[in-house]
Structure formats: structure tokens, C-alpha cells
Amino acid sequence: MKCDIILAGVGGQGILTIATIIGKAALKSNMNIRQAEVHGMSQRGGDVQSDLRISTSEIFSDLIPKGEADVIVSMEPMEALRYLPRLSPQGWVVTNTTPFINVTDYPETSLLDAELDKLPRVVKLDIDRIAKDLGAPRSANIVLLGALTPFIHLPKEALEEAVAAHFARKGETVVAQNIAAFRYGYERAEKNTPDNL
């Protein structure tokens, strides 16, 4: 089993938290992991991206080869599209639909939406709104992690445990909120999984 995931977003949106939680779950499941991050200048509001690879066999490259990513998961709709050349022809895109507008020439959101709709395999969720509705506005990235889970060949339970462990320090309420966010995202995406196509 091998799964290559591209995490995308804007500096400060919390994609590295998603990567950290998947990493913990994968390590506990005795998988090999490589996760390349971006630090430094681009973290100041620029586009950021992380390559996350998990596999039962040895992983050589820290970077996912072009056209081989199984999933692009993005905290932001335009950022989901930026990495399409790296997606496998059979790959999935799981993305937030709320734009993060910090450049003056940001495109019309309807144009982004149209591009996303052209993709054969895409899950679009307004995770910002979902997180707010769940009363946990800071857990948008965990909603997205839940939505990513059906695509990454790690047991849902392992990821849920890793979410709980990640937030344990912050108390029971925060853990419960994040578990709820995770489950909601999972259920929404599951309806779109390859098996149900």
C-alpha cells in the first residue's frame, strides 16, 4: 500500500497540522512516511504546500513525482488547482471552497468553481462554514482531514485517535469539537469515495 498526498493552502492556514496528525497515525500503523514541508519566506501569506507520502514499502524520494499524487487536499480552492500537474490521472481533489483572498488579482470564485467542477474526481466542502456551524470555527482543517480520510488507506479509527491525541493537551471540549469536525468531514466525503462512484 502506498498513498501520496499533496497538502496545499496559504501560509498560516494549518496544513502542517493535518500533515502532523496523518504522520502520527501512519507511524502508529507501522507505515513508512516522508513529509516535505516549506518553511521560511513563503510562510508569510504565500502559497504553501507539503508532500506527504505513506507506504508499507520503502519510500525513496521525499517529493512526490509529477503526475503520481493520489490526492490533493487543499484549504483553499485556487491552491487546489495550482498543483494539478502533479495529480495522478486517477487522483482525487478534496478542497475547501472558501477563498482566501490576499492578492489583488484573485480570480472570480465562480471561475475557480467551474475549474473544480471539470475534474472527474473532486470533493468540495465549505469547511469554514461547516466548522462554524459545528461551533468549532478553529477546526476547519480537521473537517478537511476527515474529508480526506476515505482516500488515504489508513483506518479511520487510527486517524481519530491521532486527532484526539493531538488536541489532548487542550482539554476534553476541544478534543470533542475536533472529533465532531473530523467525523462530519469524513461522512460528507465518504459519499464520494471511489467505491461509491
For residue 50, the minimal CB distance to another protein (Å) is: 9
Give the Cα separation of 19 and 14 in Å (integer). Answer: 9
81 lines the binding site for another protein (CB under 8 A): yes
Q: Provide, rounded to whole angstroms, the least separation between the CB of residue 34 and another protein.
A: 5
Sorted by sequence, the CB contacts under 8 Å of residue 159 that are 6+ apart come out as 21, 22, 25, 145, 149, 182
Q: Find the part of the chain contacting another protein (CB under 8 A) among 86-94, 141-149, 172-180, 188-196.
A: 86-94
- In contact, 9 and 74? CB cutoff 8 Å: yes
The correct pick among 1, 103, 168, 176 for binding another protein (CB under 8 A) is 103
Choosing from 90, 105, 117, 169, the residue that interacts with another protein (CB under 8 A) is 105
Under the criterion CB under 8 A, does residue 161 sit at the interface with another protein? no
- Contact of 11 with 42, CB cutoff 8 Å: yes
For residue 59, give the 3-state DSSP assignment: coil
Distance CA 132, CA 148 (A): 19
User: What count of Cα atoms within 13 Å lies in the side-chain half-sphere of residue 150?
Assistant: 22
Residue 171, interface with another protein (CB under 8 A)? no
Out of 2, 17, 29, 84, point to the residue binding another protein (CB under 8 A).
84
Max CA pair span of the chain: 45
Binding segment for another protein (CB under 8 A), chosen from 26-34, 149-157, 158-166, 177-185, is 26-34
Q: Does 178 bind another protein (CB under 8 A)?
A: no
112 binds another protein (CB under 8 A): yes
CA separation for the pair 28, 37 (Å, rounded): 21
In the complex, the residues that contact another protein under the rule CB under 8 A are: 10-11, 23-24, 27, 32-47, 57-67, 78-79, 81-87, 89, 102-107, 111-112, 115
